Structure formats: C-alpha cells, structure tokens
Structure 1
C-alpha cells in the first residue's frame, strides 16, 4: 500500500489510469482527514489529499515540493478490524522530510476505505519565511485562479483584485492551520485547481468554499468515525 504513494503510481491513481483505483481503493468509496490539511467526506477530495499533496501530476503545473522517497517506519495492526496504525516518513524536494501518523481502514478485500491522520511540522517545513516569499505565493495563487477558474467558476474580477483580497482581507496563516480561512489553506488547494476546477475554485476564492474557512475546535471532535468502514475480522 505504501508504495502506491510513490510516482508514477500516485498520479496514476489520482487520474484512475487504466482503472488502477480498483486495485487500491474500496468500491464503497473513500473518506478521511489529514490534519492540518483538511477533512474530506467527499470520495474525490479524500482521494486527492491522500495521494496528491506531494505527488507530481503529469500535464499539470509543477509543484515546488514532490515526493522523492517514502519509508514505513512503524505499523501496528488492530486485532479485531482491518485497521493499521502507520508512521510514514516522506522525503520531498530539497531533502525535506515529513512524518505522517495515519490510521488506515480497509474493507474485506483489503482495499482502502478511510484514513485519519496528522502531518508533523507541516508549517515548520513548508511555510515561507519572508514577506517576499509570501507575496510570491499570493501572486501564484491569483494567477492560477484567474487562469483556471473562468466563467461560472470565476472567483475574482482580476489578478489584482485577488492579490488585494489575499493581502488585506485574510491572514497569511500557516500550513499548521491549513484548513482555516487563510492564504496558506488556499495554497494547498491551488495546486488541485487544474485537476478539478469545479471543486477547488471555490476553495481558493473569497469565501473559501467551506474548505478554507475558520473552524471552531468542536469541529474536529464532531466528525463521523472515518474508520467505521473497516472490516471486522472476528
């Protein structure tokens, strides 16, 4: 399973090349959350965010950081259900490392049906450290948005309108709060805009589309049991 997160398999799963998703993903669908990136009850979003955050996707604009290596540091099996507790270390561009702590649930055919995890030091690893870098990120988001979010999906009247909004109306924030109403959250979603504009254009827009919006602490405790789809072995 872990090897499926390495290119080119991760991008093949994202675009379902040759129906490859059926080898890894439950026919019942997929849901989950990876904090602080977000919570995903929608199967498409859940697939994107477990496979696409650091996966290079062919024919789409390049990401600044993509996965280079992956190592399963530790795995623990539940004695009753098809659930694993995993510690996964990923090396990305620039020899930066991320550690994922994630519980994965599988159906009776050992296909992934849900996950619930966290990324250690997401912001410390990737947050820009200067105003120049932050402004460059805002310009990137706005140019991306104006290029791919058009017609009914348009979010801003112009690139300058977008830059003004992201500079003055919302905080820049940190990827350690990557599902809140800030610029950092919109950075995560911007890379998915070309893949699925109908879903992600609203996320990078002024409203945040329900994804990049401020959430109270109770939000994280009032979610459904993502791992409830796990097959009971005994």
Structure 2
C-alpha cells in the first residue's frame, strides 16, 4: 500500500492528467463571482456570462432553495438590481463592493467568505454583510451547487433598521415612532404596489390594492431568518423579482406564498439535501460525480487510505477587493 505522501502525489498527478483544474482556476472563478455580485446589472443584462451552470441548485439559509440558472440569477443578482432602481428607502441594501475575506479550495469545491458592503442610499449609509458559501463547480468552472450562509443577518437587520426607520416614516407620511409598525407598513406598501402594477390578469393575486394592504398589514413581518417562510419579510424579498417573470413570482407575494413563502418544517429543511452535485471534495467522499475522470484503480486506493490522504492541494488565498465603480 502506498504511503500517505506517495499516494497524495500520485493522486495529484492523476487528477492533472485527467483535466484536473488547479486551485488558481478556482480563485479566478471566485473573483468572477465577487465582481458579478458587486455589479448585478452586468449579469442581468448579459454583459458578462453567468457564473452559474444551467442546472445549478443553490440554497440560502435565510431564505430557501432555488433551482435552475434563471431562478438563481434572479435571486442572486436581480434582487439587488431592482432594489437599487427604487427611489424609496429599501430594507435590502445594494452591494457596492465585495471583498474575498478568505478562501480554501479543494477541487471541485471552494469555501469562501465574502464581505459585501451594502449601501442604503437614502440614508447615506453603508454596512458590511458577511456571506459564507460552499461552492461546487462543474468541468466548465460554472457553479453547479452552492450553500450560502448570511452570517449574523439578525444583527445586520437590528443594526440597519433603526437608521432606516425615520426616513421610512417620512416617505410614508407616518407619525408613528414604533419601528415594528413602520417596517410592517413599509413592507405592505411596497409589496402591494408591485402586485398592483405587475400581477394582473391571470397573475392577479388580490381582489384590489386595499385587500392586499389588509392582508399584508395583518401578516407578521417575521424574523430575519424567515425569508423563506409565510411572512411579510419573505414577500418583501420576492417583490423585487416580480417584474422579471410575473407568472412565476406573483404567487410568491400573494396570499398563498406560492412555493416560496410557505410554512416549513425545521427538521425536514435541515435533513433535506437538495444539491445535484455534492459539496464534498475529492479527499472527503467517494461520490461518483466527485470521481469522474479518475481511473477505478485509483479510486480503490483512495478508499483504502480514506481520511489518511495528505491534502496537499488545499490553498488559502489572500483577501482581494472588487469595487463597482459603474454600478447603477
């Protein structure tokens, strides 16, 4: 049996001979993702190719799971672009610069931590948000699976909302100083405005604007982590995508919540693995997708050594920043 060091060397050579991508390719792919996130219009308008594969499956802990390139593009990029186009105070900031704080690569998987500077233009404020992601790439260096965590999102909301509330009260001509009431009124106002404008004909969700306001003001806004549940917060998130495909997104802001803003069972959510390609790296699993291109005898050796393999291909990268100087 090969020694751990010898086997690791052999495995690296085998991977390279079968088209194995060097870690630097993954750093470049993460750079593309960071740049796209800092300039969502470039992806939505097709100026730069999408970093997502056609059949990508992505999950965000504070919302839910999204399947397919079109849906993921709308939620990862269109969400922020639409908010930036509004002339009123938004509860969701617009990313203006993105920094890769840390990254570890074990092809075909990369773990990365981004710091996104989220801008709230009406109050002249920028607040950092940390986003941690596990990402799996296909042979074309497109994202085929990702699992994203909005780190400290509850603290982020608790920090930003008190700064936004006075401006929201001014825009809504409201005299209340109760922050919760203001946020619920803001959510109802924005969601119902979008529903009235875009959700018409077969896509209509409410009998009238007034009925929408009655429903939304009676609905709990919810907690920051309930962006994929039957809450006002979930509908507020989804209202930014309605203009792209009303037939798909109107139900998400309607009374039923469609297939997005619905009650979910905690245990089922945690136990469900939605991804079409594992987020485990070569030296961590023996999944068929992971082993594509590696001869059967080498896979057999890998199984023998199991966790004793020396992970000589893991690389940590220094921080890099990407600032969008031409964002909308």
Matched, 1:205 2:216: no
Q: Which digits, 9 at most, give the CA deviation of each residue in 1:98-124, with x for residues without a partner?
A: 111101111112122221111123343
Q: Considering Cα pairs closer than 8 Å and 6+ residues apart, tell me whether 1 or 2 has the greater RCO.
A: 2
Q: Give the match for residue 103 of structure 1.
A: 134
After superposition, the Cα gap between the structure-2 partners of 1:157 and 1:187, relative to the gap in structure 1 and judged at 3 Å, is same
Question: Structure 2: how far apart are the matches of 1:163 and 1:74?
Answer: 44
Greater percentage in helix: 2
What's the Cα RMSD here? Answer: 2.3
Q: Give the match for residue 91 of structure 1.
A: 117
1:71-86 → structure 2 map (5 Å cutoff): 71-78=99-106, 81-86=107-112
Q: Secondary structure at the match of 1:95?
A: strand
Displacement, 1:35?
A: 1.4
Matched, 1:37 2:63: yes
Checking the alignment, whether the CA contact within 8 Å between 1:105 and 1:115 is kept in structure 2 is yes
Q: Secondary structure at the match of 2:100?
A: strand
Matched, 1:163 2:213: yes
Displacement, 1:30?
A: 1.5
Select 2:225's aligned residue among 151, 156, 176.
Answer: 176
Matched, 1:25 2:52: yes
Matched, 1:125 2:175: no
Question: Structure 1: how far apart are the matches of 2:209 and 2:78?
Answer: 26
From the CA coordinates, give the structure whose radius of gyration is larger: 2
Displacement, 1:57?
A: 7.5
Question: Structure 1: how far apart are the matches of 2:46 and 2:290?
Answer: 24
Checking the alignment, whether the CA contact within 8 Å between 1:55 and 1:67 is kept in structure 2 is no
Counting matched residue pairs gives: 224
Question: Structure 1: how far apart are the matches of 2:225 and 2:155?
Answer: 8
Q: Which digits, 9 at most, give the CA deviation of each residue in 1:135-193, with x for residues without a partner?
A: 1221111111111110000000111101111122x321023211010000001000111
Q: Give the match for residue 14 of structure 1.
A: 44
Question: Structure 1: how far apart are the matches of 2:277 and 2:150?
Answer: 18
After superposition, the Cα gap between the structure-2 partners of 1:154 and 1:12, relative to the gap in structure 1 and judged at 3 Å, is same
Question: Gaps (5+ residues) in structure 1?
Answer: none
Question: Structure 1: how far apart are the matches of 2:133 and 2:247?
Answer: 28
After superposition, the Cα gap between the structure-2 partners of 1:209 and 1:15, relative to the gap in structure 1 and judged at 3 Å, is farther
TM-score (norm 2): 0.62
Checking the alignment, whether the CA contact within 8 Å between 2:55 and 2:67 is kept in structure 1 is no
After superposition, the Cα gap between the structure-2 partners of 1:150 and 1:124, relative to the gap in structure 1 and judged at 3 Å, is farther
